[in-house]
Amino acid sequence: MKTHSCDYIVVGSGIAGLYMALLAVKLGSVLVLTKGSIDDCNTKYAQGGIAVAMGKDDSPELHFRDTVAAGGGLCDAEAVHILTSEAADCIADLIRFGVPFDTLEGEITLTREAAHSVPRVMHAGGDATGEHIELALSRQARSTPIRVLENCLAGEIMVEDGRVIGVKALDCNTGSVEEYHCRFLILATGGAGRLFKYTTNSDVVTGDGIALAYGAGAEITDMEFFQFHPTVLRLPGVAPFLISEAVRGEGGVLRNADGRRFMPDYAAEAELATRDVVARSIVYEMKKTGSDRVFLDATHLSPRLVTTRFPHIYRFCLEHGLDITVCPIPVAPAAHYLMGGVRVNSWGETNISGLFAAGETACAEVHGANRLASNSLLESIVFGKRVVRRTETPCSPGEGQPSTSAVCYSLPEREPLGSAPPLKLPGLQSLMWDQVGIVRSGQGLQEAADVLATWEQSLPESSDRLSYELNNLVLCGRLMTEAALLREESRGAHFRTDFPQASTGWQRHIVFGEDVSN
């Protein structure tokens, strides 16, 4: 087995991975491992933008309050303070790296999205923010000494005496496995959206970093909190396509199959309520009308506003026979973003020395039970920068640890079912969508937990990219389902019909791992 050595290994090539690599290359040698191409990630599909308090009526304190309000009582206050107060400095980095944020008369333009008090969302290319960020960062990376290994899948974290020493990685082209040694290993592989039948996520988002970390002994937290985007294009034969929250921010309204606007029935904020509220409201309305969709109506807005503010959405829909300036958009919710992940402190450190995580892979408890729109890209760069800073100056024991309470659990052992269906990806995705989706019940979660445990016990050893991904998804599905089964309440993105109210006794985090510091 061949071995290689460097200072930093970054696993993943989205905004978090590339941004950290660009900062770290000033401090030492950097290797980026990505199982696809450098541009295969969720970042480029992010339409809405990046939330940052820079408007005349805005402030980091107001951004803080909006984030905490959306988080359902589970945001770590210090983490949110860091997110909102250090945002502007990191945005300056993106501008320096060449991200072309939209401007008007020399000033960056801002828009409003759901649950934000004021317009504070920066965008690039209208609704192509993620794509512009990804292109700018990958272009910068190619002009530096950063080494990028494409089609290289990290399959195992190597730990000695409680400290990371590197990873074993599969060359997806040749099938060979090689060891890559490092001083610091940073996970930035995104979330686990491919767990679900309907998702906005790229095909590469299969929970790899979370599974890697758990296998190495790292703590995993908040897996029950998965956010479903309320408005995803629903057309026969057309893959799920995100319809940005900013469409509602600009004045678009939701109508049911009968043409009636319904969101005022469910929330005072109507279409600008938090994502969990809007997604569940759409589900209820679809059941009432016997339809598999509702409609996002922007036909009353200026056609010029629609075509210039949302050029990608407009063109995509038009290519599929839908002119959104004159016809409402058929939409339904789809899996979008994982609030949980690898448990880290405010410096991106895990409970394993030398192992860091950032972006959607990580959970610094900044989003709580429900992420505020357009905080995800911001989280990636703010906490990504702190990861690199921490590698320069190790912190003292306990520094930066979450202040919110947590309870540690182990994954329960379950008796295998004698009649579980054969494990195939579509079956896994349907099981998760039906039983661990937007609306959950104890019975459905129990059924899913039993099937997932049975599948996990029958998994063959991973040997290629597809088998690694399937194994990782099954593990992430188990972590998510068992956490949802434990949390006997409804909070944020986690809603159970048998426990429909929030409980003060559950204002704490569920952690899977050997030990919890608090």
Residues catalogued as catalytic: 275
Helix (H) or strand (E) holding 78: helix 77-85
- Answer left, alpha or beta for residue 29, where phi above 0 means left and psi between -120 and 50 means alpha: beta
Report CA-CA distances (Å) from 220 to 46, 216, 336, 364.
25, 11, 19, 11
Classified as helix, coil or strand, 24 is helix
Helix (H) or strand (E) holding 23: helix 15-24
Q: What angle do CA 290, 293, 297 make, to 5 degrees?
A: 125
Beta bridge partners of 362: 342
Question: Which burial class, exposed, middle or buried, applies to 77 when counting CB atoms under 10 A from its CB (0-12, 13-18, 19+)?
Answer: middle
CB 134 within 8 A of CB 44: yes
> Residue type for 425, please?
L
**Residue 236 structure tokens:** 């026969």
CB 176 within 8 A of CB 122: no
Q: Give dist(CA 207, CA 12) in Å, integer.
A: 11
Question: Which burial class, exposed, middle or buried, applies to 292 when counting CB atoms under 10 A from its CB (0-12, 13-18, 19+)?
Answer: exposed
Q: Which is nearest to 356 in space by CA: 338, 342, 375? A: 342
> What are the φ/ψ torsions at residue 310 (nearest 5 degrees)?
-130, 60
Residue 2: Cβ within 10 Å count: 9
CB 153 within 8 A of CB 346: no
